[in-house]
Amino acid sequence: MKTELDNYKELNKSLIKSTLALEEAQEIGKFGHWELDISSGNLYWSKQIYSIFKLSSSVFTPNYEAFLNVIHPDDRDFVNKAYTKSLKDKTL
């Protein structure tokens, strides 16, 4: 009979396996993902996002302002307006 700890260990292994598969898929496909905590302004980037922007996670701490600075200058206004609108309208 499985214990709660056994179930936790299996779930943890499954999560690790899924995370590694996602990282591999992002590397192969040359895409990444990010998450923004709106209340704190903290931005999480996957490994591949750092690679896309040619930045090192050891020297670059992502946040919204820093993100805007790595966007091409011609696109910054568009990106910022879309972001601001999504916050106002509470849409993705």
What distance in Å separates the CA atoms of residue 58 and residue 76, rounded to the nearest whole number? Answer: 25
Asked if 25 and 69 sit in the same domain, the reply is no
- Tell me how many domains the chain contains: 2
Helix (H) or strand (E) holding 21: helix 4-29
Token pair of 15 as six digits:
């999560």
Mean pLDDT of the chain: 90
Asked if 60 and 36 sit in the same domain, the reply is yes
Q: 33-59: per-residue pLDDT in tens?
A: 988 888 887 889 999 999 988 889 898
Asked if 23 and 57 sit in the same domain, the reply is no
Beta strand segments in the chain, E: 34-37, 42-45
Asked if 21 and 41 sit in the same domain, the reply is no
Q: Is the pLDDT of residue 81 over 90?
A: yes
Question: What is the phi/psi pair of residue 32, to 5°?
Answer: -140, -170
- Structural domain for 78, as ranges: 31-92
Asked if 18 and 41 sit in the same domain, the reply is no
| pLDDT, mean of residues 3-17 | 95
Asked if 23 and 41 sit in the same domain, the reply is no
Q: What does the pLDDT read at residue 92?
A: 66
**Sign of the four-CA dihedral 28, 67, 92, 17:** positive
Asked if 45 and 73 sit in the same domain, the reply is yes
- Tell me the CATH number at 89: 3.30.450.20
